[in-house]
Amino acid sequence: MIFPTFANETLGREDPKVYEADGRYVLFYNAIWRTETGAIACDIMCGVSDDLETWEKRGLVVPHRRVAAVGEGRCGAPGRRRPRRPHRW
């Protein structure tokens, strides 16, 4: 079980996904927190385990500045035409 121990887990942890790799288990989950401006934020976090019971948190998977760039639509090749009605998820 993963308990809230990081500042970015204050509003919860959700959407766990567990993968087996080289005899160990890797857990990815979302950590929910409130930013200084009051907005709700979601970070992708990681933990590892040998037995699926005891977990070692590894922390943040994607740096905040990269997540912000993706969320603001700053990704893509220079000069690439953007669709008129892009799908967002």
Whether residue 38 contacts residue 56, with contact meaning beta carbons closer than 8 Å, is answered with no
pLDDT tens over the chain, length 89 residues: 778 888 889 999 989 999 999 999 999 999 999 988 888 989 999 999 999 999 999 999 987 665 554 555 545 555 566 666 665 55
Output the 3-class SS for the chain: CCCCCCHHHCCEEEEEEEEEECCEEEEEEEEEEECCCCCEEEEEEEEEECCCCCCEEEEECCCHHHHHHHHCCCCCCCCCCCCCCCCCC
